[in-house]
Amino acid sequence: MDDLDRRNFLLMGSAGAASLGLSSTTVQAATIQETRLPVVRMHGDGLGLSPAEYADRLVQLAAAETIEPDYYSRGGSVEALEREMAAHLGKEQAIFLPTGTLANQLAVRLLAGDNGRVLVQAESHLYNDSGDCLPQLSRLQVIGLASDEATFSLEQVQAEVERAATGKVRTPIRSIAIESPVRRLWGQVFEFEEMKRISAFAREQGIGLHLDGARVFLAEPYTGVGPAEYAALFDTIYVSLWKYLNAGSGAILAGPAALLDDLYHVRRMFGGSLTYGWVYAAVARDYLKGFSQRFGDAVERSEELFALLDRDSAIDVERVPGGTNVAKLKVRGVELESFRRRLEERSIDLSQPLADGSGFKVQVNETWARQSAETISRAMIQASS
């Protein structure tokens, strides 16, 4: 068997297999394995690498001698990634941090100083999902604006600045942090024109500006605004390394050298100096190369698919106003779990149905380019009938 040519084995059919004492089931299983389509993962912002796939990627990078060791997250592949991300974002300097939660906190802490208030979106990660880190660890009061909205207005900012300045005890607004795209609002972006107005006002007032740009690299195909153009409106910007650059963890915080130059001391104080960061930095750096082109191709493929599905009466794609890579897939006339399993057999991986039974949350990522829009559309339409 080891000496057989694989293609000839798969083509010889059940008669040839029988002469070798192999069952037709064995041949059929091998044929399915050979012809199976590459998996399109319709959930998550990245590839969703398994432990084996992640380890294999590290082995490949090590064999290609592209990994350089760091020591306590300084030097080596970590430093190389910092330089490259700073260039991508148009900032003087960047620093590797183990999590986005820490990146957001340290940025706002630096910008706000020891005393003052911080304005954020009420739907932001910093307001909802960071365990009150700013008041607990940095003694900063946080004010959430614009509930259920991705964008707050300049007028809302001005009102809070006035309130803080005219109270019986003056506690000024020291920093404004904006998240875009907003995870809790299915990837909706902060309106760019309003972002520019707020940025100009904040700079006039000497208020620090931070962008939680965890997913900022996903916005460009939808908004036409690149990461560096977003970053230019802010003093600091955080970008995730795991969400779509497929690292096991990690974040980049970029900004002016005067602000970040010695931040590794504060990183260590907060327990964020990993002994070896190359395990994450090398993978993120690898997937950063050509990411914009690959993701742009996937977005183009998704738009082709959505256009094809719009023609089918059983399937609807519900887009998010002002959104990016997240949408809702609604399927009528079929049990959703059965629909999901049928697509899984065709190498299309959907998440579990939404809890309200309205459909599936889908997220465009690089894997959407692995199959043609026609192939995916045909599979979905057949699975719904």
Q: Is the pTM of this model over 0.85?
A: yes
- pLDDT given for residue 131 in this prediction: 86
What mean pLDDT is predicted for residues 259-286? 96
Structure tokens at 120: 């954020």
Is-contact 82 96, C-beta < 8 A?
yes
Within the chain, where are the H helices? 6-11, 13-19, 24-35, 51-63, 76-89, 100-112, 125-128, 133-138, 154-166, 192-205, 220-223, 227-231, 257-260, 263-269, 278-288, 291-309, 336-344, 373-383
What mean pLDDT is predicted for residues 137-142? 88
* Least confident range of 164-168, 269-273, 354-358: 164-168
Q: For all residues of the chain together, what is the average pLDDT?
A: 91
- pLDDT given for residue 288 in this prediction: 98
Omega before 181 within 30 of 0, i.e. cis: yes
Whether the per-residue pLDDT at 41 is higher than 80: the answer is yes
What mean pLDDT is predicted for residues 319-328? 98
Report residue 35's pLDDT band, with 50, 70 and 90 as the boundaries. Answer: low
- pLDDT given for residue 7 in this prediction: 37
Is-contact 180 219, C-beta < 8 A?
yes
| 51/324 Cα distance (integer angstroms) | 28
Query: Does residue 136 or residue 363 have the better pLDDT?
Result: 363
Structure tokens at 150: 């991705």
Percent of the chain, pLDDT > 70?
91
Whether the per-residue pLDDT at 18 is higher than 60: the answer is no
Structure tokens at 62: 């090590």
Amino acid identity, position 138: S
What mean pLDDT is predicted for residues 43-60? 98
- Specify the long-range contacts of residues 100-104, CB closer than 8 Å, at least 24 apart: 100/125, 100/212, 100/214, 100/238, 100/240, 100/251, 101/125, 101/129, 101/130, 101/133, 102/251, 102/267, 102/270, 102/272, 103/238, 103/251, 103/252, 103/253, 104/130, 104/177, 104/210, 104/212, 104/238
Q: Where are the domains of the chain?
A: 38-66+291-385, 68-288
Q: What homologous superfamily is domain 38-66+291-385 in, according to CATH? A: Aspartate Aminotransferase, domain 1 (3.90.1150.10)
Is-contact 164 173, C-beta < 8 A?
yes
Is-contact 62 278, C-beta < 8 A?
no
298-319 pLDDT, tens digit each = 999 999 999 999 998 899 999 9
Whether the per-residue pLDDT at 12 is higher than 80: the answer is no
**CB-hemisphere CA count at 13 Å for 26?**
12
What mean pLDDT is predicted for residues 1-8? 38
β pairing state of 208-212 and 236-240: parallel
Percent of the chain, pLDDT > 90?
83
Residues 6+ apart with CB under 8 A from 142: 117, 118, 120, 126, 127, 132, 134, 135
At residue 112's C-alpha, the angle toward residues 111 and 116, to 5°, is 170
- pLDDT given for residue 20 in this prediction: 38
Whether the per-residue pLDDT at 21 is higher than 70: the answer is no
Query: Does the domain formed by 68-288 have CATH 3.40.640.10?
Result: yes
CA distances from 18 to 21, 28, 99, 356 (A): 5, 13, 57, 51
Whether the per-residue pLDDT at 23 is higher than 80: the answer is no
- pLDDT given for residue 346 in this prediction: 97
64-95 pLDDT, tens digit each = 999 999 999 999 999 999 999 999 999 999 99
Number of Cβ within 10 Å of residue 118's Cβ equals: 26
Is-contact 146 156, C-beta < 8 A?
yes
- pLDDT given for residue 167 in this prediction: 80
Helix, strand, coil percentages in the chain from 3-state DSSP, rounded to 5: 50, 15, 35
- pLDDT given for residue 383 in this prediction: 96
- pLDDT given for residue 384 in this prediction: 94
CA dihedral 42, 46, 48, 53 (to 10 degrees): 130
